[in-house]
Chains A and B, each alone.
Chain A
């Protein structure tokens, strides 16, 4: 490992920068990079290329092709661009490709070139065209900022929740700014733009001129500006070949550098590590790459090919037609261990382990040296940490082996940092693989979190790997495996070439009764893709009827929903469906449906009894249920009518119904009641006193008690009261 630091380049006294190859690209690029619109997503994300025919003098007649590659150059999608001219491409935080068209329409594509949606950046743009656009990331999501032909800016800080903000006018702006960028400060997005020697900051209220402190004199124009990954720092490149670096608030200058190159750079990006004191920017020209920082000298690289810079959290990715490299500041732990002639504990431990493998007694000497200083725990920790920052598995292994070796001589060293690093590296190496092509560094991975990484794998349809990772890390099923399987199933239902049966079976086979998987969600997705039949099949697997019903209703399978609701035994659910059906069907059909579902019918009847009496009558009518209809009218005779005629009329209707129901007993009894009522009325008129609503017996008794024996006997005869039942007047 003598030459291990061969690719380390010092910048000033305290920092080293190294550039190493991530992948050798064998993408089959048809165009030169310089002829394309390029967008590469951070965190080792995908690369989108669109040959830009619209900017050329002679517009090509052939439609351009939009191509999406993984970071390792594996093609993910390729589609013929049929829409309008594109000004700019960019990736959102959810790894969706945003294509800003000249007419202000933004088309959103998925990782696999599937069209998701589109939105417009406002009507104003229609006339003025979009001159330039930037996609930027904020804590709310991903934002889009555009510069229109009228030299006005419009931005939206979150495309997921689109709110367009038209920025104030810059006074006296006649031509397009020489460079501009979106800034994000205090949760608000601003625009910083350069016009000649002046800088302006646009917030949503005002436009203010700003001056960077300590800017060298003689600047007549700014050619490039770059904001750091975290929006904390800003770099400006002037026409004098001078670079100013400071805070994004423009309150403080960090350093400056004069590179003496007046040609405008192609790209300028920040290259810094979180929590590092070193600040540096990488500037790229056609054939030259320069790292400049707070040092009199810069680091220079020669570029053999057209290259493109992708700023990352802890460095810069540089890709070209044939390679994909990573340029970053060497992390502290690595520096301590590998710096030439380092006596850091980690370095000694690594040495000791190597000697130990060579079966040399020097191992003991090194070890003793560390132990005498009592630095073995730090040594182990350093090796573990350094392993995390190494890209090559061999080097990771040898560092981890050293850590493990050192651990043997420690009584109480908590094992979790070692174990966790081993696990993390395993995951990282797996996703860095050429076929997967997500070249995450350890710091990026920690920032991104495992959940998001899993989401990204799912987005790339790498379900098996995602599941393997879940199982390997023993993530709880609901967050891990089940979630991924559910995503897989949602993808599966979109495969239109597979039959409904096969899809449903395949999904059920894989998912089974995995906890946390909702078949109704998958079914909802299937319905979303227009596969209603498949959705119904999938719902069959849903164990909770309560979950089936809402979707069935949405799919207009109300009758099926009704039987599912009944199956669930949840009367509230049944009721929900009933109300739905009531609005959906005409009355006759609704009643017919009820008729076949006695449970629902009883429920609805109960409701009607209290709330919609008329409907209840209609229900009975529909069913030709004359018996109940009779009862209904009898009830009505008590409830509504005070006047005797009304009551008698209601009773007559009831009696008719009873006859229709072939219930002669009830019909006769009702007729008797009518007779009795009329009679009682007469008695009240003739004799006074209260007779109405007495029972027959009580009427007779009352008559006897008031000495009307004749009438009493007449009554008993009329109503054929059996002799033995004839009241004696003593009240029984």
Chain B
């Protein structure tokens, strides 16, 4: 029942090259500091690093001890310290404090800072201000693309979302452009480019400029990937805010998949130990259920268990030779499958337990009501209750945002009362969170009547006016009216249901949300690919407030094979969810495409909300 790919589906390019490149570069950088050294690694970089170079490789290149970059001082006795960090100011202060402490103690050591994926001038400046710039040597580890799976590349930059969409900080755009440039040098030019969103446009332009400056290298190459689609996360917050019900998404929502692997706790492993499991296409059991609606998963797993049992059972009645064969050839595979199967069954049970406790059905019903736009009062009441019962601060916030976006902002009365209740229930510090959400356009107040539209049209004109360029964020939140309802109608996001939606045999991408809603982001991609551009989508583009920010760039390239033209790289700026990935994988199977995903980080509703939250210091 897992959908097989169509026989004519194109082969995916080999992305393991990216890993090798990153590894070689890291080794080179480590070798630049010959001799034994201690390596300080930023927590966020640990999992990605693990996917590139394990401890034994590090040891081979004379890394002695490994430390985590933390707030507290570290006591290393090595003569050489190497720091592997993201370019963040707090890291610089940490390093500076270490170096300065050594100075006070009259100790001289060698310090090397390796920035990943690149260094920023501001960081060097902080080092300078702290008076240690001359003591450390700086290097860059241009490791920006981690292949999490055969079709999923992640930049592992969750802060991209907050930095760009909340703070208006554009520094990661350069990193992204570099990453795209790397892809085009490795896998040939992209003959067809599409995109929507301000960040997408800027990244695209910067990327093209990079290609121009280094021209020649990619020109002669045969394109391996026929299309690239860049999409800003703020084009579609709705999809990201919905509860995920596809297995992989649900696992992410429940257990949090981190850098392609998940920690299954004792309740899943049914032992007293936690287990770290890599979730990707190599896990055969997982690969068959990852894109399935959760309601099918249990049935599938039990069927699988029965099959497995049957295979084990074949042992009976085997003669010695057959038995020998069985043990040497099949048993290992079966055991492996058995292990995985029991893990996923455990995970399913655990999910079920949690979801029933939280009245999952009721929650999903409310979400669907919000998406379809009926019984708003009832949904609002549900959210109020949710807040009062203190179910979860993040969940409550998510529902409020979902209500706001689908309704083009909350009506003033609700806006006040919901916020008041939220502050009373979860604590007053969330006042700052609300201010952030407003700025990002996630939780806003409906302005009364037509006055808004007048202002709005003026502002959006300003926003789209190239000369005005990057307008202040204060304005842009005003302009960011979501228009979800109108877009939904235009793009037919809510499928008309005649009878029951058969989740076993999905008809469309809506299956990832139990047949209630086609993810907006995926629908846009589908439409643009079908039309090979934005023609006929003018109204949608306008409703997305992106009149000047949707672009198509098609080069006539006869060298592109028909196979490559069915490979599509989708770039999500600000993160994508597993539901979106599943939906597009489904679309690919239907149309004979293969999608490849590049995201700044894999995200979900909780991560989005946390990114907007202000935590008490």
Which residues of the partner chain A approach B616 to less than 8 Å between Cβ atoms? 638, 693
With A and B bound together, what is the CA distance between A256 and B416 in angstroms? 113
CB atoms of B617 and A569 under 8 A apart: no
Instruction: Decide if A602 touches B202 in the complex (CB within 8 Å).
Output: no
Q: With A602-B473, A696-B425 as given contacts, are A576 and B431 in contact (CB-CB < 8 Å)?
A: no
A343 in the interface, Cβ–Cβ < 8 Å?
no
* Chain A residues near B435 (CB-CB < 8 A): 627, 631, 666
In chain B, positions 118-141 with a C-beta closer than 8 Å to chain A are 120-122, 125-126, 129
Residue in B387, B416, B470, B617 whose beta carbon sits within 8 Å of that of A598 in the complex: B470
> Which A residues touch B90, using CB under 8 A?
610
**Interface check B373, CB cutoff 8 A:** no
Q: How far is the CA of A722 from the CA of B125 in the complex (A)?
A: 52
**Complex alpha-carbon distance, A209 and B427, angstroms:** 97
Q: Does A489 contact B (CB under 8 A)?
A: no
Q: Which residue of B lies closest to A607 (CB)?
A: B122
Q: Name the B residues within 8 Å of A696 (CB-CB).
A: 423-425, 428
Closest to B163 in A: A606
Closest to A612 in B: B129
In chain A, positions 694-712 with a C-beta closer than 8 Å to chain B are 694-698
A-B pairs with lowest CB-CB distance, top 9:
A602-B168, A732-B389, A571-B171, A695-B427, A610-B89, A673-B428, A696-B424, A572-B121, A725-B388
Docked-complex contact A603 and B170, CB < 8 angstroms: yes
Closest residue of chain B to A697 (Cβ to Cβ) is: B425
Chain B residues whose CB sits within 8 angstroms of the CB of A598 once the complex forms: 168, 470-473
Docked-complex contact B426 and A606, CB < 8 angstroms: no
Asked if A361 lies at the interface with its beta carbon under 8 angstroms from chain B, I say: no
Flag if A697 contacts B424 (CB, 8 Å): yes
Known contacts A544-B213, A672-B428: does B89 contact A599 (CB below 8 Å)?
Answer: no
Closest residue of B by beta carbon distance from A726: B388
Contacts known (A599-B170, A610-B89); A669 close to B423, Cβ less than 8 A? yes
Q: Which of B195-214 contact A (CB under 8 A)?
A: 202, 205-206, 209, 212-213
Interface string of A673-690 (1 = CB under 8 A from B): 100100000000000000
**CB proximity of A244 to chain B, nearest CB, Å:** 59
Q: Which residues of A contact B202 (CB under 8 A)?
A: 569
Interface of chain A residues 6 through 56 with chain B (CB within 8 A): none
Residues of B contacting A695 with CB < 8 Å? 423-428
Given contacts A569-B177, A598-B168, whether A575 and B122 have CB atoms under 8 Å apart is: yes
Q: Are A571 and B170 in contact (CB under 8 A)?
A: yes
Contact residues in B for A635 (Cβ distance below 8 Å): 432, 614, 617
B411-446 residues with Cβ-Cβ distance < 8 A to A are 416, 419-421, 423-429, 431-432, 435
Partner of A669, one of B205, B389, B431, B473: B431
A719 contacts chain B at the CB level, 8 A cutoff:
yes
Interface size for chain A: under 10, 10 to 19, 20 to 34, or 35 or more residues? 35 or more
A701, closest chain B residue (CB): B390
Instruction: Specify which chain B residues have a CB less than 8 angstroms from the CB of A670 in the assembled complex.
Output: 428, 431
Contact: B121 with A576, CB < 8 Å?
Answer: yes
Interface residues of A in 564-610 (CB under 8 A from B): 566, 569-572, 575-576, 579, 598-599, 601-603, 605-607, 610
Contact with A along B238-262 (1 / 0, CB 8 A): 0000000000000000000000000
Q: Which residues of B contact A697 (CB under 8 A)?
A: 388, 390, 424-426
**CB of A498 within 8 A of chain B?**
no
- Which among A598, A625, A666, A724 has the greatest number of chain B C-beta atoms within 10 A? A598
**Interfacial chain B residues near A601, Cβ < 8 Å:** 472
* Alpha-carbon distance between A635 and B430 when the two chains are bound, in angstroms: 11
Return chain A residues, CB-CB under 8 Å to B427.
Answer: 693-695, 698
B side interface size, CB within 8 A: 53
* 1/0 contact string of A609-645 vs chain B (CB within 8 Å): 0110000000000000101000100110011000000
Q: Is A665 engaged at the interface, CB distance under 8 Å to the other chain?
A: yes
Distance to closest chain B CB from A157 (angstroms): 34
Of B89, B209, B384, the contact of A611 (CB 8 Å cutoff): B89
Task: Return the CB mask of B458-498 against A: 1 if under 8 Å, else 0.
Answer: 00000000000111111000000000000000000000000
When C-beta atoms are compared, the residue in chain B nearest to A570 turns out to be B174
Residues A638 and B384 in contact, CB atoms below 8 Å apart: no
Complex CA gap A569/B390 in Å reads 44
Whole-angstrom distance between the alpha carbons of A701 and B206 in the complex?
55
User: Is A340's CB within 8 Å of the partner chain B?
Assistant: no
Inter-chain CA distance A486–B425, complex, in Å, is 70
Q: Is B217 an interface residue (CB 8 A)?
A: no
Contact A669 B428 (CB under 8 A): yes
- Minimum Cβ distance to chain A for residue B430 (Å): 9
| Alpha-carbon distance A732/B416, docked complex (angstroms) | 22
Asked whether any CB of chain B lies closer than 8 Å to the CB of A543, the reply is yes
Taken together as a complex, chains A and B put the C-alpha atoms of A570 and B203 apart, in Å, by 11
Q: Are B173 and A634 in contact, CB atoms less than 8 angstroms apart?
A: no
Contact of B167 with A638 in the complex, beta carbons under 8 Å: no
- Of B122, B390, B424, the residue contacting A719 (CB under 8 A) is B424
| A553, B429: Cα distance in complex, Å | 43
Q: Is the CB of B420 within 8 A of A669?
A: yes
A631, B432: Cβ atoms under 8 Å? yes
Given contacts A571-B120, A693-B427, A725-B425, 14 further A-B contacts (CB under 8 A): A569-B170, A569-B209, A602-B170, A610-B90, A627-B435, A634-B429, A638-B429, A694-B427, A696-B425, A698-B427, A719-B424, A721-B424, A725-B388, A732-B389
State the Cβ distance, A260 to closest chain B Cβ, in Å: 71
> How many Å lie between the Cα of A601 and that of B169 in the bound state?
9
Instruction: Indicate whether A599 sits within 8 Å of B168 (C-beta atoms), given known contacts A579-B125, A725-B424.
Output: yes
Contact call B122/A724, Cβ cutoff below 8 A: no
Interface string of A285-306 (1 = CB under 8 A from B): 0000000000000000000000
Taking CB atoms, residues of chain A closer than 8 Å to B614 are 635
Q: A606-B167, A611-B126, A638-B616 are in contact. Are A666 and B431 (CB under 8 A)?
A: yes
The contact sample of 20 A-B pairs, CB cut-off 8 A, is A571-B121, A571-B173, A572-B174, A598-B471, A598-B472, A607-B89, A611-B126, A634-B429, A638-B617, A665-B416, A669-B423, A669-B431, A672-B428, A694-B427, A695-B425, A696-B423, A696-B425, A697-B425, A725-B388, A725-B421
In Å, the complex CA distance between A724 and B421 comes to 11
* A602 pairs with B169, CB closer than 8 A: yes
Report Cα–Cα, A697/B388, bound state, in Å: 8
Q: Which B-chain residue is minimally distant from A677 (CB atoms)? A: B428
- Specify the chain B residue showing the minimal Cβ separation from A696: B424
Contacting residues, chain A, for B423 (C-beta < 8 A): 669, 672-673, 695-696
Query: Chain B contacts of A603 at CB under 8 A?
Result: 169-171
Across the interface, do B419 and A665 meet the contact criterion of CB distance under 8 Å?
yes
Residue among A566, A571, A605 making CB contact with B167, cutoff 8 Å: A605
The distance in angstroms between the C-alpha atoms of A175 and B469, with both chains bound, is 79
B617 touches A634 (CB 8 A): no
Closest to B472 in A: A598
CA distance A727 to B173 in the complex (A): 47
Q: How far is the CB of A424 from chain B (nearest CB, A)?
A: 31
List A contacts of B205 (CB < 8 A). Answer: 569
Cβ-defined contact, B167 with A602, below 8 A? yes
